[in-house]
Structure 1
């Protein structure tokens, strides 16, 4: 099982890298055929990635969401899933040039982690595990999409307006709306992450909140996106300010996961 999983995982990683290169050729070289090929390749990589997760789950006898490697690879999977959903809905392949580098960063981090399957520690033997971590995967995936779209928003005015840009890159108003939709989806699931995490913590450690570094940074991230949504809804924030906020929010997401796991001791560091 481990060998099959590794083969599928590294196929996915390589195909994602290929898809990123095609999206960059599409966006920078203004070649439509590369965009279509990039999307087809991304679907192939996503299928291989999904199969790798399924094989690991079958081999481990549990949902593969319990250690650094498993969450990192699931995090990358979530970004790809949300990207494919948004790309299909908005017909927006240029987004791939900005989202796929993030996918490669996260799945590359996963590749550096210990892939051994180990028995679950007592704190992880809970039915809340799947709900808590799965909602985090979807939330982080949506924020990753918002990050890529917001980066594109910030450089949109600097692009030479030609037929390719008019056809394949939405205007500023549409980019702002897509980013907002992604943030709103991510925020909903992040709120569920906080709620299910508190319930799980009460069962595992007899307290709802302990200001553990992961909890604290998750709360900081939630506050950042809460401010974003409040200012947008209550004060009509749009445009560049909102895009910058979405970028800062995802930087907080990356630090909450990679930074805290690497730099700060936490009860959430399971591997």
Structure 2
């Protein structure tokens, strides 16, 4: 259970980082945000060590599986992915205000994880396949990219509203220019979409291995297709119709809400082959 202690520490670190980024924004103090970055880096190290430790412990128990196969593990892996993707974005754009809108997603994901069963359970034989590794990892990298895109989309809507009112003061005035935010909304989806596509393809291969069919219109499969179509529509509208700004930001948020439904709503509310706890 030592990995759970490290994951709990990660939850605290994500909470501290979120508070630091928000505090830096309201205090207009870049030095506070720098501390937030270092806390995120520390959280990345701790959570990576926890994932590795959990994987190792599963082998010690004779189970030997990647730690992404139940709700608890998928939540911590999602938060881990969001944090790493955020750090890449922060470094590339050299702007820490994104943290105030992105890191709370990782924090509340970990808080939700705490209230779920953290025990290491074996997979049913039908699901024991290397396709699991490729399917889950690619899906969650895509989800992390969409989370960052949605967080930045919220920033864009706030910034655009202020610019329209010709107001430059206050907290929102410290956010990056709308052009940068709009660009990041798009680029995060550009990054995440191929991973989501790969996740659906590898998921179909895994389904054929486990259940003898590539596609069965299971609720999870149906919602994954809906998510794919939303982001495909976003990219199509961007490239062919030049969708920018407010419409693109709203579609990014809609896409992430659909992603959350696909990831959590379907598994917790609807019944199907992918339901957590049902094997």
Corresponding position: 1:10 with 2:13: no
- TM-score, with normalisation over the residues of structure 1? 0.95
Corresponding position: 1:74 with 2:80: no
- Cα distance in structure 2, aligned partners of 1:105 and 1:216: 26
Closer, same or farther in 2 for the Cα pair 1:155/1:232, shift >3 Å?
Answer: same
Corresponding position: 1:170 with 2:206: no
For residue 229 of structure 1, report the CA deviation from its aligned partner: 0.4
- Cα distance in structure 1, aligned partners of 2:126 and 2:22: 43
Mark the runs of 5 or more structure 1 residues left unpaired by the alignment: none
What stretches of structure 1 move > 6 A for 4+ residues in a row? Answer: 163-166
Residues 20-99 of structure 1: pairs in structure 2 closer than 5 A:
20-61=18-59, 62-99=65-102
Out of 260-269 and 133-142, give the one that drifted further: 260-269
Out of 108-117 and 16-25, give the one that drifted further: 108-117
Corresponding position: 1:243 with 2:249: yes
Q: Which residue of 2 aligns with 1:161?
A: 168
Mark the runs of 5 or more structure 2 residues left unpaired by the alignment: 60-64
Alignment counterpart, residue 220 of structure 1, candidates 215, 226, 251: 226
User: Is contact 2:139–2:200 with CA below 8 Å preserved after alignment?
Assistant: no
Corresponding position: 1:106 with 2:109: yes
- Cα distance in structure 1, aligned partners of 2:20 and 2:32: 5
User: Could you say what the CA RMSD is over the residues aligned between the two structures, in angstroms?
Assistant: 1.5
Closer, same or farther in 2 for the Cα pair 1:252/1:164, shift >3 Å?
Answer: closer
For residue 105 of structure 1, report the CA deviation from its aligned partner: 2.1
Q: Which residue of 2 aligns with 1:118?
A: 121
Count of residues paired in the alignment? 268
- Cα distance in structure 2, aligned partners of 1:183 and 1:108: 26
Out of 233-242 and 57-66, give the one that drifted further: 57-66
For residue 136 of structure 1, report the CA deviation from its aligned partner: 1.0
Alignment counterpart, residue 193 of structure 1, candidates 199, 208, 213: 199
- Cα distance in structure 1, aligned partners of 2:52 and 2:168: 44
For residue 169 of structure 1, report the CA deviation from its aligned partner: 2.9
For residue 13 of structure 1, report the CA deviation from its aligned partner: 0.3
